[in-house]
Amino acid sequence: MTAIEPGKFSDPETIQATICAGLDYIGEFVLRAEFQSLLNELYARPHGGRLAFVRDVILDDEQRAVRGIVTPDDLIIQRSTFADGRPTLFCVSKILPLAYPWHRVTMTFDSGADVIQTT
């Protein structure tokens, strides 16, 4: 993949295809049974304990590895916040070098719902 030079925009078809492929890639990662189990572990905690779990487990490579989760080098798991105060806990992002001016796609995980997802 060749990165687009700053200031030089990708064509709309390339942008759309790259964004869709990036989201699909993140989706495949977070839908793995091991990651779903991690999410179940997160959402089983009361709201007040979720941020600590994100910090101590989800953001920790070793803790994820103990749970069978190896994050690909081209994905980033990090804390995220929004100015509008959404209850976001963390996100999984992928850099998109061919979709300039979009630099990344991100899937966020919020603390708002008490729904435990199962696979």
Q: ∠ CA 11-13-19 to the nearest 5 degrees?
A: 100
Encode pLDDT of 48-95 as tens digits: 999 999 999 999 999 999 999 999 999 999 998 777 777 889 999 999
Kindly write down the DSSP assignment for every residue of the chain, as one continuous string: -PPPPTT-PPPHHHHHHHHHHHHHHHHHHHTSHHHHHHHHHHHTS-HHHHHHHIIIIIT-HHHHHHTT----TTEEEE----TT---EEEEEEEE-TTSTT--EEEEEEESS--PPP--
Q: What does the block give as tokens for 13?
A: 């078809």
The beta strand positions in 29-103, using DSSP E, are 75-78, 88-95
- Give the whole-number percent of the chain exceeding pLDDT 70: 84
- If one compares 24 and 13, the residue with the highest pLDDT of the two is 24
Confidence category of residue 119, pLDDT binned at 50, 70, 90: very low
DSSP character at residue 57? I
Q: Is the pTM above the cut of 0.85?
A: no
Cis (ω within 30 of 0) for the bond into 101?
yes
Q: Regarding beta strands 88-95 and 75-78, do their DSSP bridges make them parallel or antiparallel, or are they unpaired?
A: antiparallel
pLDDT at 1 over 60: no
